[in-house]
Each structure stands twice: as structure tokens, then as C-alpha cells.
A and B are shown apart, each in its own frame.
Chain A
Amino acid sequence: MKNNVIHRTNADRAFDTLDYILLTIAFLLVAYPLYFVVIASVSDPIAVYEGRVILYPIKPTLEGYRRILSYTSLFTGYKNTLVYTLVGTAINVTLTITAGYALSRKELVGRNVMMMGVMITMIVSGGMIPNYLLVRSLRLYNTMWALILPGAVSTWNLIVTRTFFQQTIPDELREAADLDGCSDTAFFLRVVLPLSASIIAVMVLFYAVSHWNSYFNALIYLSSTSKYPLQLVLRNILIVNTLDDMVNDVATQAAQQRMGDLIKYGMIIISSLPLLVLYPFLQKYFVQGVMIGAIKG
């Protein structure tokens, strides 16, 4: 018996050790590339080029950031994305919360048919080209609305919201309000909304992040560069490599490329900063959102 106990703790200890080792590897594999971007963005580009920047910045410089700040397209992109994110998220959340609430109510005649319709859109869709034709024929092409209206409600988020209301608003509460002659709108505004702070937070975060990070709709629906969101501006710099104005003054091509890399590392930081700084504080809401979805899914 005693042997048995010792044997067991040894196996458990082996498990725990392995657990710590594997998770530490996972932690480093995720954290190091992110950390490297940060230190590379403030290091001497020659040191980065020679592979000497490994654990901390070498010959710290803000040259990259200085050049980025003089690049006006970036700020146009930033401003556009802010507008698209604010307007888009406001529409997304308003529609998702009101529709999700209505669909959670048993009294809603035709609820099952509507839910069926919603579910169908998860499996079947028109696809890229019919959507593209639709946006053109509605004359939304090259307007902000082309980035907002086609994704006004996410099916998944709608289902998550409905599940939330089904679980948090008891039928009895509603019935009591009915007896008091309280209308559906008054009940929604006075009782439901104050109880739904967490689902609203979750939805704001989910939608805002997807607006902030999206580039696909802008790529196919926008033609004027002055309307480009941040991600399209970034694409031109990080991927299409159009840096001319920012590195023209640098003498040799090799030096231009090194300066370009420095600028790119800085761009990554500047564009991802709002999310990466806010995220640890908001993490619990994101996780909560996934969990509500998991209960149903």
C-alpha cells in the first residue's frame, strides 16, 4: 500500500513537471515573437540585420517611429478605422441585442421559423461574387456602408445573445411585468437592458475587434485610398512593400531595406497597440462570450 502511494506521487510529479515544461515552451513560442517585434522596433536596424538583437534592444533608437509619425496615410487609415469601428459596432450591437432579445421570447409567434432562417445562413451563403454584385447594385460601392451593412449582424453572435437572454431573464419576471401592463419596449429598456451589461460588453468587444482587424471588405468594396482603413494601409506597407516616401532619403538600397524593416516593426506595434493594451483588462469578457456560445454550441 505504501509503495503504491509513493509510486502514484512519482507519476503525478512526472506529469506536473512535463506539464510545466510543455506550457513553458508554449508560452515562449507565443511570447517571444511578440517581444521580438517590440525590441526590433526600437533597435538599431543594422544590429537587427546582423542578428544581434535577441533579448533586449541594441543601440535604442526611435528613428522608426519618427518616420512612421510623418507618414500621413497611416493617420488617415487610423481615423477611418476608428469611424468604421464606432459606427459599425453601434449598428451591430443595437441590431444583435434587440433581435436576440425578441428571438429569446416564447411569446414571439413565428420564432422557430425565424431561427431556422438564421441557422440556414450558417450553412448556406451566396458567396463572394453574388455579395459583390449586391453591394454594387445597392450603390454602396466605395462608401463606408459597404464595410458596415453586409456584416451588420453576425449569425453566431445573434445566437449567443439569444442564448444569454433565455438563460438570464426568467419567464416569471416577464409575466409579472405583463400583469402590470408594462409594454415590451418598457420592459426591455427598464428591466432587460440593466441586466445585460455583460452581454453588451461581450458583443461590443467581438464586433469592435473584427472591425478593427478586417481588410477584406475594404479590399473589394473601396476604390479611393482616402477611405482606406488602417489594415489596408498596413497591407501596402507590410506586404506590398510600398515604403518610398518614408525611406527615400536613405542612401543605399540595403540601408533602405533595413530602415523599411524598422518601420514595419514599428507599424505592427502602433496598429496593434490599442487591442494588445486593452486586451488583458477585457480578457474575462472575451472568455465569457466564448463560454456563452459554448453552452449552446
Chain B
Amino acid sequence: MSTLSPAAKKRHYMLKQARQHWQLYLFLLPTIVYFLVFRFYPMYGLQLAFKNYRAVDGIAGSKWVGLDNYRYFFAAADFKTLMFNTLSVSLGTLIFSFPLPILLALLLNQLPSIRYKKLVQTTVYAPHFISTVVLVGMIFLFTSPSSGLINKIIEAFGGKAIHFTALPRWFVPLYVISEVWQSTGWGSILYLAALAGVSPELHEAAVVDGANKFQRVWHVDIPGILPTIVIMLILNAGKIMNVGFEKAYLMQTSLNIDASEIIATYVYKRGVLKAQISLSTAVGLFESVINMILVLTVNWISRKVTESSLF
């Protein structure tokens, strides 16, 4: 027994550990089952993207069709529109809803009055707790051409009421503005936490050097939270194609469909409503693969440029 190799010794030790702490595995058991059934098994279903699914054959028994589903999708008339719409919504959201929480956090962090800071924080976080259904309900009420607050304001300034939710060109602005309204406050929490970690000594040194507040924000605060900004940018890049189904679907009207049909709503309609299982699985997979490529690319660029990265 004394001639056990180091690897065998290690294995022996690990087995002993596992046996001694078997109860921990009991703690994990339901979660492991959950992950296997609801997270990993659906990945097995992704093969349907390359098959022609028939309920009677099941997932494994359906016939392989190669890239037929993709050929159909890329050739379809709505392919270009879907891509364009999805990218417009997501890039529009990224451009506005990414930098604004940073700005808000910088402003809150420098605010001299603690009480006013608390009041503003409590208020701007609140929309985070409003459901998507209520948010979209508010959009419809506020932009109603006959009674909406926004149109009343336009009319008060001598303009003509606009039927925002019926016009395709207003879909992206409404989506982005409501997104900014709902998420900017909540998004600032992370940056506020990062700002709290910026050493006060750096600020004191900057004051001694004669730097004013503008200069301190620019040369101390922003570099201090740059790693957080980079990580958040990578995480957001992963969502570029992954526009939330929930809000886009609710904001869709038969009149703005030209701008509001995005990949996620298309997948839902084709797959769940029309039971075109293989096609919609293929489109969903297409979306996830692009997301993955985007995350890895942004991650790679940021590692080269700023030396901070997620992976």
C-alpha cells in the first residue's frame, strides 16, 4: 500500500472526502437534476435545427435534413427585415442604455447632499420593479393619439398628435426610450458600488494638485471604474441579437409590424403558434450562435486593448 502513486493517493483522498461529505451531494441533488433536465436536455433538442421534426418521430427519430432549414430562412423574404429590425432595436438600446447608467452613477457619487442622493436613488430605481406588461401599457396610454399625455404636450406646443404605436418608424425610439426610463437607475447600482471602491486618497491627491471636480471625475473616477465598464460592455454585447421577446412582442401592433417583428417574436410565432418546430429552432440557434461570437469577440478585443476581460 505504501507504493501508491501520487495520482492514486489523490484519488483515494478525494474518495474519502466525498464519502465524508456525502450530505453535501444531497444538498445539490435537486439542483443537479434541475440543470440536467431543464438546462442541458433542451440543448440536445437543438439538433432539430438540422432535422425535419415530426411529433410522431420524436426528437431523435426525426429525419436529418442538413442545412435545409437555414436555406429556407436565409432565402425567405422576411430574413433581411428581421435582421435589420433586431439589430436596430439592440444597437439603439446599447448606444443609449449602456452609457447613461455610468453617467448617472458619476453624478450621484459626486452629489454633495446625501439626503437628496437617497431621494433620487429611491426614485430612479423604482421603474425596475414595474412589469413589462405595465410598462408597455403605460407606453400605449401616454402615446394615445386622442388622450395621451405626450400628444397633449405636442398639441400644447401647436403640433399635431402622432399615433406613435401605429408608425413603424417610432417603434425603435419608443422601445429605447422606455428601456432607458426603466433600467438606467437600476443599472447605476453596479457603477456606484465600483465608485465606492475608488480610493479617497486618489481624490485627495488630485485636490492637492489643484484638480477641480470635472477633472477629478475624468481622471480619477472614470479610470477607477473602467474595469467594471468593460465587463458590463462585454455582457451587453452578448445580448445584441438577443432582444427581449417580452417587450417587443407586447409593443407589436398590426400597424408597426414592419419594424417590430424581430427574431425572437418570429421564433415564437413560427414555433409555438404555427408549430414549425424545426424552422424556429434553427432560427433560435442562429441567434444564439451570433450572440456567442459577439461575446467572445468583444471579450478578445477588450483583453487586447484594456487588459480586462470576462473570460
Binding site for B on A (CB under 8 A): 4, 8, 11-12, 15-16, 19-20, 22-23, 26-27, 29-31, 33-34, 36-37, 48-49, 51, 95-96, 98-99, 101-103, 105, 107-110, 114, 117-118, 121, 123-134, 138, 149-150, 152-153, 158, 183-185, 188, 209, 212-216, 220, 231, 234-235, 238-239, 257-258, 261, 264-265, 267-268, 271-272, 275-276, 279-280, 283, 286-287, 290-291, 294, 297
Contacts and interface: CB of A to CB of B under 8 A. Distances in A.
Given A123-B295, A129-B45, A216-B246, A290 B134 contact: no
Interface string B118-145: 0110111111011111101110111010
B126 A23 contact: no
B158 interface: no
B284 A108 contact: no
Contacts of B159: none
B281 A130 contact: yes
Contacts of B231: 297
A102 B25 contact: yes
Among B32, B107, B140, B235, max chain A CB count under 10 A is at B107
Given A12-B213, A128-B271, A101 B131 contact: no
Contacts, number: 269
B250 A239 contact: yes
B91 interface: no
B133 A290 contact: no
Given A153-B31, A271-B131, A49 B146 contact: yes
Q: Is the interface of B mostly helix, strand, loop or mixed?
A: helix
Nearest to A105: B24
A268 B45 contact: no
Among B127, B137, B186, B281, max chain A CB count under 10 A is at B137
19 contacts: A8-B212, A15-B110, A15-B214, A30-B126, A31-B123, A33-B142, A34-B126, A49-B147, A98-B30, A108-B25, A117-B35, A126-B39, A126-B41, A158-B31, A213-B131, A234-B134, A265-B141, A268-B137, A268-B138
Interface string B3-31: 00000000000110110110111111011
Interface residues of B, number: 97
Interface string B99-126: 0000010011011100010011011111
Interface in B18-70: 18, 20-21, 23-28, 30-32, 34-35, 37-46, 48, 59
B156 interface: yes
A129 B48 contact: yes
Given A33-B142, A134-B42, A153-B34, A23 B107 contact: yes
B267 interface: yes
B308 to A, nearest CB: 12
A215 B246 contact: yes
B27 A99 contact: yes
A257 B133 contact: no
A272 B107 contact: no
B14 A127 contact: no
